[in-house]
Amino acid sequence: MEQNETLKNEQIKKVFSPHPLSFMRLQSLCIFLIVWGILVGWLVNFSEYRGLLSGNVWFPVLVWGLVLLLVGVIFSLVTIRWIIFFFYLGVFAGGTALLVSQNWLSEAGLFIPFYATGISILGFLLVELYRRSHKYIISNLRIIFKGGIVTKRERTLRYDKITDIDAKQGVFGQIFGFGTIIPISQSGFGLGSDESFAAGGVEIGAKKAGFFGLFGGGKEVQTPRARSYYELHGAYPYKEIKNLVESLVQDHVITPYQQEQVAYQKEQVDIQKQMKELLEKQVETKEEQDQPAEDTPQKPSP
């Protein structure tokens, strides 16, 4: 954080970025893509089932694509993020287009592992670039959240506006000592809505529609959730940062006694203001009464 960005009397307490493993959910998509691509190559070229898959040049491609899309649907339903399904759909469509355009269908068993590995490596690089774009600044006055690759986003949250703090650690977070801290503001910023889908239903307007011929329904639940650049995502060391934020929030909380003192001081200020106005009116009234006596001419003595 540059010096000209700090406020008066502001002191920087902590500056950090998310832990390298904090985006494991995105990285796991690339890991599955590599594993499944290599497994398809082994099934086509080395397994005892290679005779079944080599009967038609389209068999390896269809098996690879169907499992990829099925896993994409499952992941999307669990995480309530359909971008995962469309990511796998794009990978499958791009691979199929290359196989057809280059007449590589007969070599699909070799193409799929290398293609999946190449896409996964590109995905890992993009995830790392996205992680490095995040920056969190904790000062004695506020928390600053920064993030974004193409579009830069920034959020500033003062401690007196924080009403609650949600903190969580996953399995990897508990092992490697990182976690996510979501400050919830008075306006409800930091809360998101989760839709519990049934059989792949998706929402269109105010109605629930089926997906892939299945019926869907949903129930909205408010839960602490925010985008990674609007929360302290992958905070490391987790306990140290959590205690720091909680102590700073506590320092800005007004106790009942302080609230009474503030109310009393405000009342005294109002009384003084009223007394001042009353004195000003009395002075004006006295001046108006004295003015006619000064303007009356004196009679000459005989």
Tell me how far apart the alpha carbons of residues 192 and 203 are, in angstroms, rounded to a whole number: 16
Instruction: Tell how many helices (H) and how many strands (E) occur in the chain.
Output: 8, 11
C-alpha atoms less than 13 angstroms from C-alpha of 93 in its C-beta half-sphere: 6
- Distance in Å from the first CA to the final CA of the chain: 90
Confidence at residue 169, expressed as pLDDT on a 0 to 100 scale: 95
β-bridge mates for residue 168, sequence order: 180
β-bridge mates for residue 220, sequence order: 195
What Rg, from alpha-carbon coordinates, does the chain have?
33
Confidence at residue 234, expressed as pLDDT on a 0 to 100 scale: 96
β-bridge mates for residue 164, sequence order: 184
Tell me how far apart the alpha carbons of residues 134 and 230 are, in angstroms, rounded to a whole number: 10
Residue numbers of the chain with a pLDDT score lower than 70: 1-4, 188-225, 255-260, 291-302
Whole-model pTM?
0.73
Burial environment of residue 147 by CB neighbours within 10 A (0 to 12, 13 to 18, 19 or more): buried
Confidence at residue 219, expressed as pLDDT on a 0 to 100 scale: 47
Confidence at residue 203, expressed as pLDDT on a 0 to 100 scale: 44
Confidence at residue 295, expressed as pLDDT on a 0 to 100 scale: 54
Tell me how far apart the alpha carbons of residues 238 and 180 are, in angstroms, rounded to a whole number: 8
